[in-house]
Structure 1
Amino acid sequence: MNPESTSKKKKQQLYLQIADKVLEIIESRGLQAHDPVPSEGELAKLFGVSRMTSKLALEQLVERGLVYRLPRRGTFLSGNRHEESSTKLQEPVQNSVEKNENKQIALVVPHMSDYTSRIISAVEHEVRKHEYDLILKISKDEDDQDRCLQALVAMGISGIILFPWGSRTCSDQVFRLKMEKVPCVVIDRIFREIPIDCVYHDHFQGSYEMAQYLIAKGHREIGYSSNVIENITSREERYQGYIQALLDHGIPVKSEYIHFRTGRCDPGRFHEYDAEQGEFIRNNPQMTAVMCADDQVAIATLFSALHMNISVPEKLSIVGFSDTYLSALTPIPLTTVRQDTERLAAAAVELLMKRVNQSKEQHLTIKIQTNMVERKSVFDRRALL
């Protein structure tokens, strides 16, 4: 045998040895299904081997169905190795479907607002059509959200509709729902790192069409104001829609016209002057319009402008996004983008019921179209051009 083939054989044997060592670590640590296992770097350091060798070891375990790997997340213990723990998590859901004993759907939302209350009402209406009852959970934060999900699975819930907190990535508990095949549909968010059923509004198109509307009304100096994006897909897409509309119409994107808040607007003080919005307006006197990423920011901008004796919409047009209840009740009723919560709820419940009934099709991402509501907060500048 030539030296090269001998070297290859030793390398092959080494990564198989490391794979066996990983199994020993799993056993010694008492890892359960979907717990993280040591990474390539950790294995390389622990056993004094190259990252390539540790990578080959983990890939060997993947091929054997003992672990699975997720981009940017790591390597996790497969449910195949600990079938008992997997069965315990799946059994309540499966039994509820087969025996028809627990006909309950859960809706988990991050807060109570005009928007989420409309979603709750619409989901409850849709769930009753299927002769299921709705359980509502309002999570205080991301940790509480995961505790709610864990408790719902333990009680044998038939399925879950999740409006998640604005986290950068989906939580470990959401991963568990996916891997344990608990019927779950995410609404108003997209988690890019795992394939999971999602139903959300087309935020990009809604924002793009609003920018087009302002441009058609003769506006060229158009600002943009939003809460910090924080990798929340809805905010990302609204911002992208604004940028793309300007580019498509040959309008320069001016960085000074783009404002991301350092703090959220206080819902209890909408009628007062907001220092952040006031400073943004004051620093950009050439702006004739401001697109706001949600109605809360738009209402704060409107009242700030009025406190500064800036006439709306004659001097400054202001538009929002979501069409909350208050948007029609401001001193100058807001033009905004309406998110159809009834269509969102209907699509989410329909998709969830498919999963409850053990549909085998691949994960789906469903976009719900928005529409614009024209009120009194936009000035037509075409006669001035």
Structure 2
Amino acid sequence: MAGDSGSMPMYEKIFQTLRERINKNEYKAGERVPSEKELCNEFGVSRITSKKALKMLADEHLIVRQPGRGSFVADANSLVMKPFELPQTVRTTGKKRIIGLVITHFSDMYGTELIYGMEEASRDHDAFLVVRRSFGIPELEEKAIQQLLGLGVDGLIIFPAQGEYFSAEILKLVIQKFPFVMIDRYLKGIPASSVSTDNIQAAKEATRYLFGLGHRHIGFLAPPPANTTAIEERIEGIIEAHVEQNLLVNRELWMETITSTMPNVFDPQARIEDVDRLVEHLRQHPQITALFAAEYNIALLVEEAAGRLGLRIPEDLSVICFDSPEPHEGCRITHMRQNQFSIGKQAFENVLTMQGNEQPITRILLPAVLVTGRSTAQVRK
């Protein structure tokens, strides 16, 4: 490529090459693109040149740059147009109502059933649902909200990218009293309706179940709690269950630094590092007889770590988590199954009831159900 550099600047060639790879899905939405240093090595250019190429991609809304983390392919559906490019007059009276959903990500493990519930509610009420993913990246979340507002949606359902720091776009919705409902999380101290699982009660029930099997040295595995109010509530439920039994919580047995399962982490190396840390954690705390994972994908990390240590599940180590893509009958991992379908349906219906009315702020909590699998057993004496 360097031979014809006189006809086109190298930064533009790099830009066109990366754009072509994105268009061909060599880099898919949410995946990391090569860093400035990696581009330097691949194309034999300076950091200034590679940086300029990445800036051009960002200006074209093809990637989102995250300081300290890298650059990621933007969701083409969300960012194909610039914010508010469509006029606010798109919606006219008499047309069917449109509700926008901004969600970090969805899969069989969590999220798909939420959307099924919303779709059923949309059919029941002769309305439409438009979905945009943020991949847990705040900038993508803000752009998705702007995009949907530009389309003239009648309301929004938001699964926030973060739990501690909410985006300016969400706060604008609160100030402007625009109809929206949060799912899975809620805004502390800010008037906004939400629909979620009763995480405190669910975590308490799961911990009681482990106590009933004789487990007393229980580790809890989760991402950093500050990232979601749901995790904070599950921690509260675990602590309350210990208090009921007059037991002290030994948080030295906990790991709250799992990052590879978070929706905004795309580096396969992160999973390897999480498993390595889990192996070391279990070595340092051999008294652990059960692990409570905040989500199913973390439970899978436990299986891998236990296998490396020669620990058998459930004979040597019981494992319980939230949610599972497996059916109720004969499931492998014991879990608290959230009623995602009802959460999605109620969230959609709540947004519709806000139309043209001054509605009171509501927080709806739905129960989770304990589904016993093959990953938990009576503690060995």
2:67 — aligned with what? none
**2:340 is aligned with 1:315:** no
Helix, strand or coil: the match of 1:279? helix
Matches of 2:323 and 2:346, distance apart in 1 = 18
1:142 — aligned with what? 138
One-letter identity of the residue aligned with 2:275 = D
**2:121 is aligned with 1:123:** no
**2:103 is aligned with 1:105:** no
One-letter identity of the residue aligned with 1:294 = E
Matches of 1:169 and 1:273, distance apart in 2 = 25
The structure-2 alpha-carbon separation of the partners of 1:109 and 1:169, relative to structure 1 and needing over 3 Å to count, comes to: same
Stretches of 4+ aligned residues off by more than 3 angstroms: 89-93, 265-273, 324-329
Please provide the CA RMSD for this pair. Answer: 2.8
Q: Is the 8 A contact 1:108 1:145 kept in 2?
A: yes
Taking the TM superposition and a 5 Å limit, the aligned residue runs for 1:254-293 are 254-261=250-257, 263-265=259-261, 274-293=275-294
Range 165-174 or range 288-297, more displaced? 165-174
2:244 — aligned with what? 248
The structure-2 alpha-carbon separation of the partners of 1:227 and 1:133, relative to structure 1 and needing over 3 Å to count, comes to: same
Q: Is the 8 A contact 2:87 2:151 kept in 1?
A: no
Helix, strand or coil: the match of 2:365? strand
Kindly state the Cα deviation for residue 369 of structure 1 after the two structures are TM-superposed.
1.0
The structure-2 alpha-carbon separation of the partners of 1:340 and 1:262, relative to structure 1 and needing over 3 Å to count, comes to: closer
Taking the TM superposition and a 5 Å limit, the aligned residue runs for 1:31-110 are 96=92, 99-110=93-104
1:355 — aligned with what? 354
**Pairing partner for 2:157 from 161, 172, 179:** 161
One-letter identity of the residue aligned with 1:296 = N
Deviations 1:271-325 (A, max 9, x none): 9991121111111111111111111111111221022111111111111112234
1:50 — aligned with what? none
Q: Is the 8 A contact 1:272 1:303 kept in 2?
A: no
Deviations 1:116-135 (A, max 9, x none): 22212221121111111111
Helix, strand or coil: the match of 2:208? helix
Helix, strand or coil: the match of 1:291? strand
Matches of 1:235 and 1:186, distance apart in 2 = 16
Length-normalised TM-score, structure 2:
0.70
Kindly state the Cα deviation for residue 107 of structure 1 after the two structures are TM-superposed.
1.0
2:62 — aligned with what? none
Helix, strand or coil: the match of 2:322? coil
**2:236 is aligned with 1:237:** no
Q: Is the 8 A contact 1:206 1:337 kept in 2?
A: yes
Which structure has the larger Rg? 1
Matches of 2:344 and 2:303, distance apart in 1 = 31
Helix, strand or coil: the match of 2:111? helix
Taking the TM superposition and a 5 Å limit, the aligned residue runs for 1:155-194 are 155-194=151-190
Helix, strand or coil: the match of 1:165? coil
1:340 — aligned with what? 339
Q: Is the 8 A contact 1:273 1:307 kept in 2?
A: no
**Pairing partner for 1:219 from 181, 205, 215:** 215
Q: Is the 8 A contact 1:271 1:300 kept in 2?
A: no
One-letter identity of the residue aligned with 2:106 = M
Identity of aligned residues (%): 26
One-letter identity of the residue aligned with 1:354 = T
Deviations 1:19-43 (A, max 9, x none): xxxxxxxxxxxxxxxxxxxxxxxxx
One-letter identity of the residue aligned with 1:373 = V
Kindly state the Cα deviation for residue 326 of structure 1 after the two structures are TM-superposed.
9.3
2:369 — aligned with what? 371
The structure-2 alpha-carbon separation of the partners of 1:272 and 1:257, relative to structure 1 and needing over 3 Å to count, comes to: closer
**Number of aligned pairs?**
289
Helix, strand or coil: the match of 1:261? coil
Q: Which has the higher helix share?
A: 1
The structure-2 alpha-carbon separation of the partners of 1:290 and 1:219, relative to structure 1 and needing over 3 Å to count, comes to: same
One-letter identity of the residue aligned with 1:177 = L
Answer 1 or 2: higher relative contact order, Cα 8 Å, separation at least 6: 2
Length-normalised TM-score, structure 1:
0.69
Structure 1 unaligned residues grouped into runs of 5+: 1-88
One-letter identity of the residue aligned with 1:336 = H
Kindly state the Cα deviation for residue 212 of structure 1 after the two structures are TM-superposed.
0.2
Kindly state the Cα deviation for residue 223 of structure 1 after the two structures are TM-superposed.
1.4
Matches of 1:184 and 1:273, distance apart in 2 = 36
Q: Is the 8 A contact 1:198 1:365 kept in 2?
A: yes
